[in-house]
Amino acid sequence: METKGYGPRGGAGGDGPGGTDVRRIDISMPLQAGMAAFPGDPDFSARRTRSVDQGDPYNLSTLEFGSHAGTHLDPPRHFLPAGLATDQLDLAVLNGPCVVLGVDPHRESIGPEDLVRLPVGTQRVLFRTRNSDRWHASPRFFPDYVALSLAAADSLLARGVRLVGIDSLSVESDPSGEFPVHHLLLGHGVPILEGLQLYEAPPGSYELACLPLRLTGGDGGPARAILLPL
C-alpha cells in the first residue's frame, strides 16, 4: 500500500477511487528520546555519530531501543521459546481489513461483553480505549491502562480473530507476572500489536498496513502501522 504526504500528526491525504481524498492514519508512536517505555524495558536513545554541522559529509545516528519499543508486534517467540519469531510471521495476517472497536471510556478492562459489536468474521481487531485519549494528552507511561481480560481473549479466539491490537504498551495488566493473556493468544498463534495511537482513528472498518522490523529470530518487532478507512 502506498503511503505518502504525512501531516504533522501522522494523518495523510491522497487520491482515492474517483479522485476522492482518502486519509491514511498513522497509528504508530514516534520513536524519540523521552518516549514511554514499559517498566523494565530499555529506554529509546539516539546519538548523532556523523554530523554535517561538525564537518562530516553526511548525518548518521546510532539508535538504541528494545525490541518492544513504541508501537510493536508480539510474536509467539515473545513468550514461547519454540514459537514463531518476528521474521517468520505471515505478513498476510498483519495486513488486511480490520475493525477498530471502541470501548466505553468508563471501562477499566475489556471483557467479553465489549465484543458484542464486533462483526462476525472479523479477523483483525484493534481496541480503542480511553488509553488513546491519555496518550494524546501526554506521552508519559501510566500504569492504570485499560487492558484485555483473559475471558475476552478466550472469546476472541472462539470468534476466529487472527490479530489483536490495543492502544497500550501491553495487552494485559497482570500483577502476578504470569501473563495469561499473552500465553493464550500467542499459544494459539495470534500475534499482538501493542502501543497503538488510535486517537485519530474513530471506531469503524479499515484496511490495516503493518510492517514490523524484519529481525531474525526476533522476540518482538517495532512496527509502522497505518489505517486506511474502507
Q: How many domains does the chain have?
A: 1
Predicted TM-score (pTM) above 0.75: yes
Query: Would residue 93 count as lying in a domain?
Result: yes
Query: Would residue 79 count as lying in a domain?
Result: yes
Domain that holds residue 106: 22-36+67-229
Query: Would residue 123 count as lying in a domain?
Result: yes
The candidate with the shortest Cα–Cα distance to 221, out of 87, 67, 70, 95, is 67
Helix-strand-coil split of the chain, %, nearest 5: 20, 30, 50
CA–CA gap between residue 162 and residue 124 (Å, rounded)? 6
Query: Would residue 43 count as lying in a domain?
Result: no
Kindly state the average pLDDT of the residues 104-115. 96
Torsion of CA 119, 105, 192, 190, to 10 degrees: -40
Written as one letter, the residue type at 216 is: T
Average pLDDT over all residues of the chain: 91
The candidate with the shortest Cα–Cα distance to 139, out of 193, 199, 192, is 199
Query: Are 101 and 203 contacting, i.e. CB atoms less than 8 angstroms apart?
Result: yes
Query: Would residue 8 count as lying in a domain?
Result: no
Query: Would residue 17 count as lying in a domain?
Result: no
The CATH number linked to 180 is: 3.50.30.50
Query: Are 180 and 96 contacting, i.e. CB atoms less than 8 angstroms apart?
Result: no
Phi, psi for 72 (deg, rounded to 5): -150, 160
Confidence of residue 21 (pLDDT cuts 50, 70, 90): low
Kindly state the average pLDDT of the residues 5-16. 41
Greatest mean pLDDT among 10-14, 122-126, 133-137: 122-126
All residues at 6 or more sequence positions from 167 whose CB lies less than 8 Å from its CB, including other chains: 126, 127, 128, 129, 131, 132, 135, 195, 196, 197, 198
Kindly state the average pLDDT of the residues 132-145. 94
**Catalytic residue set:** 78
Query: Would residue 58 count as lying in a domain?
Result: no
Confidence of residue 176 (pLDDT cuts 50, 70, 90): confident
Place of cell 488513546: 132
Query: Would residue 49 count as lying in a domain?
Result: no
Helix (H, G, I), strand (E, B) or coil at 183: helix
| pLDDT given at position 23 | 86
Q: What is the pLDDT of residues 24-43, one digit of tens each?
A: 999 999 999 999 999 999 99
